[in-house]
Amino acid sequence: MNTEVRELDMGLYEDAIGVYGMGDKKIIIKHDEYTDDPLSWGHFEFFSTHKRYYTDSKYKAIKAKDGSFWGIEDFDSLEEIQEFLTNNDYLFNYVYLYEHSGFRIWTSTEKQYPNSIDMFFDSGCFGFLYVSKDKVRREYGVKKISPKVKKQVYDFMSGFVQNEWEQYFNGEVYEYLLLDKNDVYEECLGGFYGLEGLREHLNSELKIQMPII
């Protein structure tokens, strides 16, 4: 049976985006400011073509089969990057970014914008998400990458980008704090990408049906 939840005044709790009472306890919903960038999870590598985001050297170089590293300055077009990734045994997707009062990120196996590496004013190619074929064979336990496995990889890329990564980019990662009647912390847990994931956890683990924020 779910616990009855009452919405409370947020004014007493700094940075709260929702405060709820349940019995003599309170639950505070906040943005998680210390969450991991999903790229750090190691599912994929990212080669950034953007001038302001992901400018660290690890996002500006791709390793070739001969062990050398190629940087953004070594390419004159998106097609040259695509050709390099293909010739060096990577599966990859174009990543596109639309920036306007927030961020929308999506993937495509095909080029959707003109061939320039530079983005337009608020949209364009953000970079390339890629993974080595050797890693795919290891993780999927196959000797040959079939069209079915390739589709699974591309679907995983697309879901990763449009869910966890986009939510991270937009600051849509949350934590909750559970307080007793004296406002002493009983529990604190974060790393929820999107409010829906937080709601599911509260409902399944604490039997709390959180209102929509």
Q: Where do the domains of the chain lie?
A: 6-31+174-205, 38-169
- To which residue do tokens 């002493």 refer? 184
pLDDT averages per 10-residue partition of the chain, 213 residues: 50 74 84 91 93 88 95 92 96 90 81 51 83 97 96 95 92 91 87 89 76 59
Q: For residue 165, report the phi and psi dihedrals to the nearest 5 degrees.
A: -70, -45
- Taking residue 67's Cβ as centre, other Cβ atoms within 10 Å add up to 6
Which two structure tokens, joined as six digits, stand for 105? 């990120």
Q: How far apart, in Å, are the Cα atoms of 41 and each of 12, 44, 87, 175?
A: 35, 8, 26, 19
Q: What is the pTM of this model?
A: 0.80
Largest CA distance in the chain: 64
